[in-house]
Structure 1
Amino acid sequence: MSGPLKGIRVIEIGTLIAAPFAARMMAEFGAEVIKIEAPVHGDPIRKWRKLHEGTSLWWYLQSRNKKSLSVNLKSAEGIALIGRLAAEADVLIENMKPGALENLGLGWDVLHALNPKLTLVRISGYGQTGPYKDRPGFGAIGEAMGGMRYTTGEPDGVPARAGVSLGDSLASLHGVIGALMSLLRVKTGQGEGQVVDVSLVESVFNLMESTVPEYDLLGHVRERSGGALPGIAPSNTYPTRDGSFVVIAGNSNPIFKRLMHTIGRADLADDPALEHNDGRVQQVALLDAAIAGWTSAHTIGEVLDALEQAGVPSGRIYSVADIVADPHYQARDMILPARLPDGVEVKMPGIVPKLSDTPGEVRWQGPSLGQHTGEILAGLGFDDNEIARLREQGVVQ
């Protein structure tokens, strides 16, 4: 293995999205990630969304570069195995309900005693403390209670979902950030490992910009605004002649002037009342109508070409088909070839972020259930007879 996290061992006791996505990112940058899965069926995401030959394509992406260790956590020996792994690990990531790890006999007090340098990343709906901590919480609930759903959708419509599992993914990113900060503390000798407590709700809330002070000081509640960007003008989604839509962000003072000249409205470009954003916000309906009138008279290609020449930020709204075909995505290695276990080739997303000297890499796609069980147990010092016994007794698969 190579990458900036080479030599870092991560134990993942997670299912579905939040913890597995966090571990996946660490695996892409060189960490050895051992994914703990229940026998027989493993992580439920193996059967989520679209399947190929009985296995989810999402699984192959979400679990790439990971090793699968199938352990029965209802057995004492299975729990002991996790303890042995934790004693040699740098990070343990879990997204079980608060208290579940303690019920297994693997609470923070136990893990910290086994390995003072261990970082424990705990991702849950509401966090490990507080009156809601025992409530079940998925990403959709985090998006709702974190404030994002309330501000998403058309003004006269119902609160909308973004189309992907944003709540889970945002929690994953916060989990990785916390893990890296804790690892830095340990590796530089500033202290021992610690608990990184990540809440789905708080991860979404962390992205809610200035909504709290706006409400507290001004009594303003940010509402749904469709494709517009309230308080910043002009910035919206506009129709084109061929039925497409274009996002245009003409909201800095010089960009606004260039945009207005491009659409043939020099009168608006030179209007002193529109020189700054606060003035433009007062007349946002007028500006949006002027821009939409221009975009509606041109094709998406014509609009984008004209705005690019004028230096006005703009972009078409991409479907996944557009993304896969886009030359910029391809040039940035954001669409990577992969091969599934049956030999079928398939495109997969690339790795983010791009590091100049130690880039991430894909070494293999998501493993079969328990694929690395023997290898991992041998690394813990178990001989062939002991491994065979554990398999026969149903401790591992």
Structure 2
Amino acid sequence: MTGAAHPRRTGVPIVEGAHPGRLPFDGLRVLDLGVIVVGAELGRLFADYGADVIKIESSAFPDGSRQSAGTATAITEGASWGMRNRRSLGLNLRTDEGREIFSELVRRSDVILTNFKPGTLASLGFDTETLSALNPGIILSESSAFGNHGSWSRRLGYGPLVRASAGLSALWSYPGDADGFSDAITIFPDHVVARLNAAAVVALLLRRDRTGRGGRVSTAQVDAIFGAMADWLLAEELQPGAGIRGEGNDRGSDGFRGVFPAAGDDEWLVVDAVGDARFAATARTIGRPDLLDDPRLRAAEQRVVHRKELRRLFAEWSATRNPGEAAASLQAAGVPAAPMLRLDDIERDPHLMVRGAFGTLTQPQLPEPLPANLGEARTVTLPPPLLRPAPLQAENTRDILRTLLGVEESRITQLLESGVLEEHPSAAPVPTA
């Protein structure tokens, strides 16, 4: 089942050579060595749009997103979302025969995705030069916590550690509460880095169309965080050793700006009323037009001085109102405002439903279908992303060896018995009498 239908513009001329309705990565083969969130997200972005993404796995070094399933035959919701539309190959790269098989796959592929600690792929015998010799057109995507160079390059790390090291966790904290961190999401760095690397890989594919030459992109996840923190890092008051603190509700550029309580249990309203016109519109909306006659509040810098009083007045109004209705009244007055939404709210949001932001993913091993996000963009020619289920670990080993590499069944059996290959129990042939 795909996502909700969304309107498409008609009468728009199609560029000559375009293929309306064709998935853009149809015919592209991707070897996916990535793990956990950034690995899953990056491979998914290509698999969703038609690439043959082969996830290479080993039970000796299982993907973290699979480990919480508990058994070899199970699959998690997280793995279902992140690994959808792929095929899975169980391959031991620490054996000579396993490396030979991988070399053959490299010769027949277009892109390799990794997020190992720097040097891991080279230690297996596949540095950049070796990969280029096997396939001059191959494109390698790498990401790691702190990059390939510098004194921290060999450090192990994943999202929370990288965020803490970059100082982002300190910004996501409650002022005055030493233990009040809100650092439980993976947007930075995982989801952001996946999209950065995907864009870079596409750029290298376009260059390869012109030159025939492959390429390499390598991302330090901490750099993606620094890019988002540029205003903080360039702040004049930020000196070595000074540290940074979370803004909380104290944005400091006008009086009616921040997060305010709304009616209900833990319901909140976000308002960004910056500037004289929006201050006036907010004052009228909350029934306090008298504030416009107060000489202390004529300019934003004056209102900042009195922001505690203004926020108290706004909170008295917002705390008695439904957050969605309060946001709608402010929006109608020309003031940026929105209610805080939870995940269930997002899935049911009428605007997102009309845009076809979500679909339904059916994973056979799970009792209920899963809501799944679809593509963020809409174009005239681009079809919705695929929503095929994620593979079980090593579910497609035999098929990949047979159809892609032409290996005979007897040889596949030998490689399985020797541990070079792995196969999910559900994919093994049923013995005949």
TM-score, normalised via structure 2 length? 0.83
Quote the sequence identity (%). 27
SS at match of 1:206: helix
- Measure, in 1, the Cα distance between the counterparts of 2:70 and 2:257: 35
2:30 is aligned with 1:30: no
Mark the CA change 1:334 to 1:257 in structure 2 (over 3 Å): closer, same or farther.
same
Worse overlay, 205-214 or 163-172: 163-172
1:197 alignment partner in structure 2: 218
- Measure, in 1, the Cα distance between the counterparts of 2:69 and 2:319: 37
- Measure, in 1, the Cα distance between the counterparts of 2:215 and 2:255: 44
Deviation at 1:262, TM superposition (A): 0.7
- Measure, in 1, the Cα distance between the counterparts of 2:370 and 2:142: 32
**Residue from 127, 132, 135 that aligns with 2:147:** 127
- 1:147/1:204 contact within 8 Å kept: no
- Measure, in 2, the Cα distance between the counterparts of 1:216 and 1:197: 32
1:266 alignment partner in structure 2: 289
2:201 alignment partner in structure 1: 179
1:136 alignment partner in structure 2: 156
1:188 alignment partner in structure 2: 210
Deviation at 1:383, TM superposition (A): 2.7
Deviation at 1:57, TM superposition (A): 0.8
SS at match of 1:55: coil
- Measure, in 1, the Cα distance between the counterparts of 2:410 and 2:158: 42
- 1:214/1:221 contact within 8 Å kept: no
Deviations 1:332-368 (A, max 9, x none): 3233222221474313222232231214412411111
SS at match of 2:36: coil
Worse overlay, 385-394 or 215-224: 215-224
Mark the CA change 1:62 to 1:301 in structure 2 (over 3 Å): closer, same or farther.
closer
Mark the CA change 1:49 to 1:264 in structure 2 (over 3 Å): closer, same or farther.
farther
- Measure, in 1, the Cα distance between the counterparts of 2:60 and 2:294: 69
**Residue from 137, 146, 156 that aligns with 2:166:** 146
- Measure, in 1, the Cα distance between the counterparts of 2:399 and 2:275: 57
- Measure, in 2, the Cα distance between the counterparts of 1:373 and 1:180: 27
Deviation at 1:161, TM superposition (A): 3.3
**Residue from 379, 393, 397 that aligns with 1:369:** 393
SS at match of 1:290: helix
Q: Could you tell me which amino acid in structure 1 is paired with residue 248 of structure 2?
A: G
Mark the CA change 1:227 to 1:76 in structure 2 (over 3 Å): closer, same or farther.
farther
**Residue from 308, 313, 317 that aligns with 1:290:** 313
Flag the structure with more relative contact order, 1 or 2, with Cα contacts below 8 A and sequence separation at least 6. Answer: 2
Mark the CA change 1:297 to 1:163 in structure 2 (over 3 Å): closer, same or farther.
same
- 2:173/2:245 contact within 8 Å kept: no
The alignment covers a number of residue pairs equal to 396
Worse overlay, 365-374 or 217-226: 217-226
Mark the CA change 1:215 to 1:183 in structure 2 (over 3 Å): closer, same or farther.
farther
- Measure, in 1, the Cα distance between the counterparts of 2:276 and 2:159: 38
2:269 alignment partner in structure 1: 246
SS at match of 1:214: coil
1:81 alignment partner in structure 2: 101
- 2:74/2:392 contact within 8 Å kept: no
2:16 alignment partner in structure 1: none
Mark the CA change 1:227 to 1:381 in structure 2 (over 3 Å): closer, same or farther.
farther
Q: Could you tell me which amino acid in structure 2 is paired with residue 367 of structure 1?
A: P
- 2:260/2:318 contact within 8 Å kept: yes
Deviations 1:220-267 (A, max 9, x none): 965212244344653211112334211112125433332222112324
- Measure, in 1, the Cα distance between the counterparts of 2:421 and 2:395: 11
Mark the CA change 1:261 to 1:81 in structure 2 (over 3 Å): closer, same or farther.
same
Worse overlay, 274-283 or 354-363: 274-283
TM-score, normalised via structure 1 length? 0.89
- 2:330/2:337 contact within 8 Å kept: yes
Mark the CA change 1:185 to 1:276 in structure 2 (over 3 Å): closer, same or farther.
farther
SS at match of 2:308: helix
- Measure, in 2, the Cα distance between the counterparts of 1:89 and 1:149: 39
Deviation at 1:105, TM superposition (A): 0.1
Deviation at 1:277, TM superposition (A): 4.7
Q: Could you tell me which amino acid in structure 2 is paired with residue 178 of structure 1?
A: A
- Measure, in 1, the Cα distance between the counterparts of 2:218 and 2:130: 17
- 1:354/1:360 contact within 8 Å kept: no
Structure 1 residue runs without a partner (length 5+): none
Q: Could you tell me which amino acid in structure 2 is paired with residue 289 of structure 1?
A: R
2:76 alignment partner in structure 1: 56
- Measure, in 1, the Cα distance between the counterparts of 2:60 and 2:156: 25
SS at match of 1:121: strand
Deviation at 1:133, TM superposition (A): 0.6
Q: Could you tell me which amino acid in structure 2 is paired with residue 205 of structure 1?
A: F
Q: Could you tell me which amino acid in structure 2 is paired with residue 242 of structure 1?
A: G
* Mapping 1:85-100, distance limit 5 Å: 85-100=105-120
Deviation at 1:49, TM superposition (A): 7.8
Worse overlay, 275-284 or 2-11: 275-284
